[in-house]
């Protein structure tokens, strides 16, 4: 009796392990599919994305900004010549990849498309990221590899077609007829799914436009939202994120060439107070003007953004290296005795 129960438990564990192995790639597939669909609609609904050269957050401006530093910069000429066409190709390409991955339709083809998009974005907007492991597009590139190798054989259109093909072969249909039927039905499903995606994307691009001024994300997962600054700043800063609070820091904590971090009242965003030259104080927002990441503290006269490699002058806030095209917002800083007080935003 006991032995029978033990055998049953062993069998159950073996069954669970087999099921887990079978569906091991499903979480990755859902994540990549949802993310690429979201990225596509995020681009299509953003008024900046196709705005052209006059908008620093547009596809054209961001492509122009990375052209000089990208190892494939010489290939970006056509994209700059027809930015609307290429911008839409990228957005709808992400949508096709995401839908194909979610529904498991031509899974290896969708994974190949996702890998190609991620590789292109890694070689352009993420190429300057240092160290390399902070570049999200490189991680996405490798995330597509398992699906490229294994496809989407479970809980998918591909899986249904494969199971039906096996049944057809057992019923005596010849291989040519089975392959023809699978290809035809797969094509019909692709047309239906692609048509639905094209319609939804077109309606989004036409009628659902964000009116905010935040820059559009260049790639899936390639941006990191700026976290709220910590409550206390090094060097004895006082004040917090509550509106109207006076924010001060000890002057001794900001040596020439050094910095101290405080929080802007109201927003809670981190601000770096710096002393570029003796007796000259100012503050710079920590929020990168490219995609909203948090830049590192000033070092060697520069503020560096780890997301996409933008660099800013620690004296003026001006852009040294793109893809950012706008300087960091600057704040006045007043010295009162042995304290430095954060003032209003200048730009």
Task: List the domain range (segments joined by +) for residue 275.
Answer: 248-345
Q: How confident is the model at residue 101 (pLDDT cuts 50, 70, 90)?
A: very high
Residue 250's beta-bridge partner residues? Answer: 339
Last residue of a domain, one of 207, 234, 258: 207
Q: Evaluate whether 105 touches 284 at the Cβ level (below 8 Å).
A: no
Quote the mean pLDDT of the chain: 80
270 vs 40, higher pLDDT: 40
| Statement to judge: residues 121 and 267 lie in one domain | no
Last residue of a domain, one of 181, 207, 233: 207
What's the pLDDT score for residue 104?
93
Instruction: Classify residue 158: in a domain, yes or no.
Output: yes
User: What would the mean pLDDT of 48-71 be, rounded to a whole number?
Assistant: 77
What's the pLDDT score for residue 32?
96
134 vs 150, higher pLDDT: 150
Q: How confident is the model at residue 31 (pLDDT cuts 50, 70, 90)?
A: very high
**Domain tally for the chain?**
2
**CA 227 to CA 221: how far, in whole Å?**
15
Mean pLDDT check: name the lowest of 96-110, 219-233, 267-281, 311-325.
219-233
279-298 pLDDT, tens digit per residue, is 888 888 888 887 777 788 88
What's the pLDDT score for residue 233?
35
| Statement to judge: residues 180 and 266 lie in one domain | no
- pLDDT beyond 80 at 81: yes
User: What would the mean pLDDT of 5-12 be, rounded to a whole number?
Assistant: 72
339 vs 115, higher pLDDT: 115
Q: Evaluate whether 238 touches 247 at the Cβ level (below 8 Å).
A: yes
143 vs 339, higher pLDDT: 143
CATH code, domain carrying 315? 2.102.10.10
């Amino acid at each position: 009796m006991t032995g029978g129960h033990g055998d049953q438990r062993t069998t159950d564990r073996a069954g669970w392990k087999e099921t887990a192995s079978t569906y091991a790639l499903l979480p990755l597939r859902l994540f990549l599919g949802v993310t690429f669909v979201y990225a596509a609609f995020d681009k299509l609904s953003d008024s900046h994305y196709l705005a052209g050269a006059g908008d620093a957050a547009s596809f054209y401006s961001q492509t122009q900004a990375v052209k000089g530093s990208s190892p494939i910069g010489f290939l970006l000429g056509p994209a700059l010549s027809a930015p609307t066409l290429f911008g839409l190709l990228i957005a709808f390409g992400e949508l096709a990849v995401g839908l194909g991955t979610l529904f498991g339709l031509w899974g290896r083809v969708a994974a190949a498309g996702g890998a190609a998009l991620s590789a292109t974005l890694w070689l352009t907007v993420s190429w300057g990221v240092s160290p390399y492991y902070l570049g999200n597009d490189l991680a996405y590139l490798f995330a597509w590899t398992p699906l490229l190798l294994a496809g989407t054989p479970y809980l998918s259109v591909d899986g249904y077609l494969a199971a039906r093909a096996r049944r057809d072969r057992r019923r005596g249909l010849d291989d040519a007829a089975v392959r023809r039927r699978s290809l035809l039905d797969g094509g019909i499903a692709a047309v239906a799914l692609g048509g639905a995606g094209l319609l939804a994307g077109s309606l989004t691009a036409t009628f659902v436009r964000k009116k905010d001024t935040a820059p559009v994300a260049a790639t899936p997962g390639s941006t990191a939202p700026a976290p709220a600054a910590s409550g206390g700043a090094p060097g004895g800063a006082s004040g917090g994120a509550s509106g109207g609070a006076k924010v001060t820091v000890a002057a001794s904590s900001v040596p020439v060439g050094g910095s101290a971090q405080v929080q802007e009242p109201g927003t809670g965003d981190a601000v770096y107070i710096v002393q570029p030259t003796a007796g000259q104080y100012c503050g710079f927002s920590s929020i990168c003007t490219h995609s909203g990441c948090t830049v590192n503290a000033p070092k060697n006269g520069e503020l560096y953004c780890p997301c996409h490699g933008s660099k800013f002058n620690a004296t003026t806030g001006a852009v040294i290296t793109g893809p950012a095209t706008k300087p960091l917002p600057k704040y006045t800083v007043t010295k009162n005795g042995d304290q430095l007080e954060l003032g209003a935003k200048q730009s």
